[in-house]
Amino acid sequence: RRLHLVCPMNTSPHVDPQKSGHEVWEEFAHSFTPAVREVVEFGKKIPGFRDLCQHDQVSLLKAGTFEVLVVRFASLFDVKDRTVTFLGGTKYSVDTLRAMGSSDLLNSMFDFSEKLTNLGLSEEEMSLFTAVVLVSADRSGIENVNSVEMLQETLIRALRGLITKNHPNESAIFTKLLLKLPDLRSLNNMHSEQLLAFKVH
């Protein structure tokens, strides 16, 4: 039975059956590493992030990188055409990916991407929202919760201010955005389960 790695952070869902599990994993890691580095660079640019202790910077990035990538790469999910574009540039239909063994996670990613895209946020709004996603004081292993909480509150205030300024007649947008945070947590948990299944396999 052929194996597939149905993650758009891979160049392609097809896995070479001649390669060992370790080689497959190495190739996959090679594929997603640049995107992870971009998340770290993004984190560094958040005002106040570099003032957090090193341990907490790493903890926030470890816990939040997947969620930041989901937000940044929402455009890979074409809701209208029901296709996913992998990092290699090829589009695959949901049906094709389903036949490859994709899980409910894929459908949930589509739902999330659709709702986020429908909010019609500007690049600046999306960037600030992404900062709020990354700086969450309730991530596990945070040492200085107060510092992270203070930064989180500052970012949320800034996001509310920006949304209110840009969308004076659409006050629900800010609430809808905050409600995306638990959605992202849920996706993150589903993704972790998928990783476990893949590694065990």
Partner 1 sequence: FSDPASNLGLEDIIRKALMGNLEERQE
Rule CB under 8 A: which residues touch partner 1? Answer: 29, 33, 36-37, 40-41, 44, 50, 54, 57-58, 61-63, 65, 191-193, 195-196, 199
Query: Which among 5, 42, 46 is positioned nearest to 27, based on CA atoms?
Result: 5
Whole-angstrom distance, CA of residue 84 vs CA of residue 97? 9
Beta-carbon contacts of 179 under 8 Å, excluding residues fewer than 6 positions away, are none
Which residue, 44 or 91, has its beta carbon nearer to partner 1? Answer: 44
Report, in Å, the least distance between residue 40 CB and partner 1: 4
Longest dimension (CA), the chain: 58
Which residue, 120 or 141, has its beta carbon nearer to partner 1? Answer: 141
Which residue, 2 or 199, has its beta carbon nearer to partner 1? Answer: 199
28 near 16, Cβ under 8 Å?
no
Which residue, 37 or 82, has its beta carbon nearer to partner 1? Answer: 37
Which residue, 83 or 130, has its beta carbon nearer to partner 1? Answer: 130
Which residue, 66 or 86, has its beta carbon nearer to partner 1? Answer: 66
Beta-carbon contacts of 1 under 8 Å, excluding residues fewer than 6 positions away, are none
Report, in Å, the least distance between residue 47 CB and partner 1: 14
Report, in Å, the least distance between residue 123 CB and partner 1: 23
Beta-carbon contacts of 101 under 8 Å, excluding residues fewer than 6 positions away, are 4, 6
One-character DSSP codes across 113-144:
HHHHHHT---HHHHHHHHHHHH--TTSTT-S-
One-character DSSP codes across 134-193:
H--TTSTT-S-HHHHHHHHHHHHHHHHHHHHHH-TT-THHHHHHHHHHHHHHHHHHHHHH
Report, in Å, the least distance between residue 33 CB and partner 1: 6
Report, in Å, the least distance between residue 113 CB and partner 1: 21
